[in-house]
A and B are shown apart, each in its own frame.
Chain A
């Protein structure tokens, strides 16, 4: 294969290793004489708490800092700078530049969250409208924008479930949250953090919820069910109405994990499927950038019966004036120090009006088209298999199994992923969902032109051919990235674990 991609490799030192005593990268404006002369600032700190030893931060000039981080950025891969980012469940769609331009407006950046409502009418109106649009898309009655990420939203949602049962005096007996084995790992973790025991139910032969298994697991002890629809294999749970009925009949609540909302906007709404609580990831469906791990935003929508438990404050409108409402006696309290990731919410709002209602629907349709295009074009390729009812259309993502390839050649899903990096393509999510062996979870999103999809498909086919003819070339991947394959065990080993520069220096001294 001809080299099609080469990532920058700067062999960049740690910023601490660039330090030279006396250098500075920033200077503060001087104090005015009237302020400067009056008191020695060091007399203003109690002696016992005066910092004697300066923090061991690097001493570097501005250009060194800038170049250092520029070099590092070149050793990173973003959806806007790469070629395709088909990371399943993460909805890596285009992050529009105009969103960033508007989110850098001084009248959002320099606004303090405790300013008077009167002085923040613009941002309050944006948040209020965003909430309305979110309710419209999801079919819910009320929402909070406070959670700072999807998992934060999940936990907030389950805390609402908790408050609901508690309010009815049933929390003592409703101790279990039912979760399919195909669920995102955050689901059981969030339910546990909200104080519930989790009950896992096996998926049926079609990869969907097995109604018999569900019925067997549900009872008076059930607080609710957590489900994503379409589910993590990208298939629509078409028995969702029956599923909701089972849960509601047992007195439980339906929780919708909105990670996969990008598949269905304008086509169907979680609120109509019987869900009582949902979260959505603005950094997935609504185009806000993920920043290498965050900030995200995870608004939570609820049906009327749960609105009174939502976190405070709430944004309310009266006569065209917007204000924060703190008066909710049954609220679960605050889940964020202030009002959530407002700057992220602004980007999502910008995206929504850039697309409009119809544009959002078309986005979902094209996301689904793109995923199925990949699925159909890779059909029949020997090493990959579409498990769970291959005839069923997928939604926004398709999960292939590299099981046949592993069996035949010893090349696993991990190495397919690593080899894809050599083409300048990001890898799919691997080894998730757990119900698919050797899973490659592919979510191209609507942003990808068919040319990128074809490049991905061709690479997947070439890797398949290589696996069967020259597996060593796949197993030694990646070659064209900044670094080759890493020793992940060493990073976690108790003797060698090193999580800071401080520890690095200690280990050097100890000669490790």
Chain B
């Protein structure tokens, strides 16, 4: 018996035949008759299936089950962080009307996603202290790349200064993005003691060619870039843009970049209601001041307010499309079209749920838990945590003075704990050092288990 696939309503032979009859053809092959013979694929696609839904579920869930079962969420961040996702967020993003819609090319029938994304842009502006945010980029990394390109378009300069301790992955993406445009990426040294950007070195390197000075706050290694405002002032003295990359969960307690001089803010929106999912989808935050120099140069889709023509009712629409690829083609500000809209909706729902008090409480909770973990780990013998003396937010470095990371991770694995991003290949100068992350999802019990496992491994 030949089976009719549940996804293929017209595969029923009688229906297919009736359609073909009405079209005056006798086989579907006729519709492919223009493909030259030598190009017609003679083989069969080597893909297992078709599987019935129950089989698919068993197969895929079975594969996923082979991922390790962990004691608790990983103690890892570095650009993707474990956070709790409230149920309302998942409920909203699973609505078929949102989930299964395309980009809102027909605004009259798409007000739902348009208003939701407009609200996301608004939430981001409030959080980072900017006037304009776009509807999302792929992730923080691509947002840094786009920020550098935008800055260069706006001020026609080509040198980008970055902290030497920035995330090496983000740095790699930044380089890939900017190499064709001829931008030069130059690293600024850090202070040996604090890890903060070395202002003297910055002053030496910033010059008339500098298009942008970029910092991450909190930094990749978890400390708060305390001199952020001074960095911005140094950048502005040379008419360079001041670009700040953020972890938005810090912004309930840490000053908004807009309040210390940032011109462009980028960052990673994943922790706002989006799951880690082995690193994607993520949510690239991108915002700037209400300055035409920047707005008209922004990459990506932007939702704006307008009215109905007939009765002047408030409504929402994709705007400033003349910057975009489908109109400007090679002159577009970026090639991006599909972005991370649904992740942006999730972030909007998340920020609506938490509100200003929730974001402050989240920040305080993270600080307290991370501080507790850092203190407990720092008390172990043979460990220095963190390696820099600055204030830290939710991530901190742990240096093992007498053990290799391999030994440590083996011990952690045995207890079903995933903790610490190994920094050895990224920053060899720090030796056997890992980047730990603690958030609101890690209870005292979880942290204590981590600490006691480390203690055993060190003995």
- CB neighbours of A34 from chain B (8 A): 372, 444
Considering only residues 7-43 of chain A, those with a C-beta below 8 Å from chain B are: 7, 11-12, 14-16, 19, 23-29, 31-32, 34-36, 38-39, 41-42
Q: Does B155 contact A (CB under 8 A)?
A: no
Q: Are A148 and B281 in contact (CB under 8 A)?
A: yes
**B45's contact among A31, A137, A369, by CB below 8 Å, is which?**
A137
Binary contact track A97-132/B, C-beta < 8 Å → 1, others 0: 010111011011111111110111111011000000
Interface residues of B in 263-282 (CB under 8 A from A): 268, 275-282
Contacts of B187 in A (CB 8 A): none
Q: For residues 33 through 61 of chain A, which have their beta carbon under 8 Å from a beta carbon of chain B?
A: 34-36, 38-39, 41-42, 44-46, 48-60
A380 CB–B CB distance under 8 Å: no
Q: Once the chains bind, are B444 and A32 in contact (CB under 8 Å)?
A: yes
A494 and B353 form a contact (CB under 8 A): no
**Is the CB of B427 closer than 8 A to any CB of chain A?**
no
Partner of A62, one of B88, B115, B328: B88
- Give the residue of A14, A98, A110 whose beta carbon is less than 8 angstroms from that of B115: A14
| Cross-chain contact A42 with B276 (CB below 8 angstroms) | no
**B122 and A49: CB pair below 8 A?**
no
Which of the residues B36, B90, B342 comes within 8 Å of A104, measured between beta carbons?
A: B90
Among B63, B123, B308, B310, the most chain A Cβ lie within 10 Å of the Cβ of B63
Contacts A337-B139, A366-B8 known; A119 to B67 CB distance under 8 Å? yes
Partner of A119, one of B34, B418, B444: B418
Task: Provide the residues of chain B in CB contact with A500, threshold 8 Å.
Answer: 118, 121-122, 125, 131-133
- A58:B141 contact, CB within 8 angstroms: no
Instruction: List residues of chain B with CB within 8 A of the CB of A150.
Output: 337-338
Contact with A along B227-271 (1 / 0, CB 8 A): 011000000000000000000000111111001100000001000
Whether A483 contacts B308 in the complex (CB less than 8 A), given A51-B255, A339-B280, comes out as yes
Contact A337–B169 (Cβ < 8 Å): yes
Q: Are A272 and B39 in contact (CB under 8 A)?
A: yes
Taking a contact as CB atoms under 8 Å apart, the answer to whether B102 and A92 are in contact is: yes
Q: Which residue of B lies closest to A449 (CB)?
A: B9
Per-position 1/0 for B414-441, Cβ under 8 A of A: 0000100100010000000000000010
- CB pair B104 A292 closer than 8 Å: yes
The distance in angstroms between the C-alpha atoms of A363 and B6, with both chains bound, is 11
Measured CB to CB, the closest approach of chain B to A82, in angstroms, equals 8
| Interface footprint category on A | 35 or more
| B10 in the interface (beta carbon within 8 A) | yes
The reply to whether B67 and A267 form a contact with Cβ atoms under 8 Å apart is no
Interface contact A295-B180, CB-CB below 8 Å:
no
Q: How far is the CA of A123 from the CA of B70 in the complex (A)?
A: 15
Smallest CB separation, A329 vs chain B (Å): 13
Q: Which of B158-166, B205-213, B296-304, B450-458 contacts A (4 or more CB under 8 A)?
A: B296-304
B residues in contact with A115, CB < 8 Å: 68, 74, 76, 418
Other than the given A25-B358, A359-B50, A503-B131, 6 more pairs (CB < 8 A) read A119-B413, A159-B176, A265-B45, A343-B281, A357-B45, A492-B320
Chain A to chain B: the 10 pairs with minimum beta-carbon distance, closest first: A195-B180, A356-B49, A338-B279, A291-B342, A113-B279, A293-B341, A357-B45, A76-B112, A78-B100, A295-B281
20 contacts between A and B (CB under 8 A): A14-B122, A15-B119, A26-B354, A38-B372, A72-B112, A112-B278, A114-B80, A120-B68, A123-B67, A151-B325, A186-B335, A241-B39, A333-B172, A337-B140, A337-B142, A353-B47, A353-B59, A359-B7, A365-B31, A482-B111
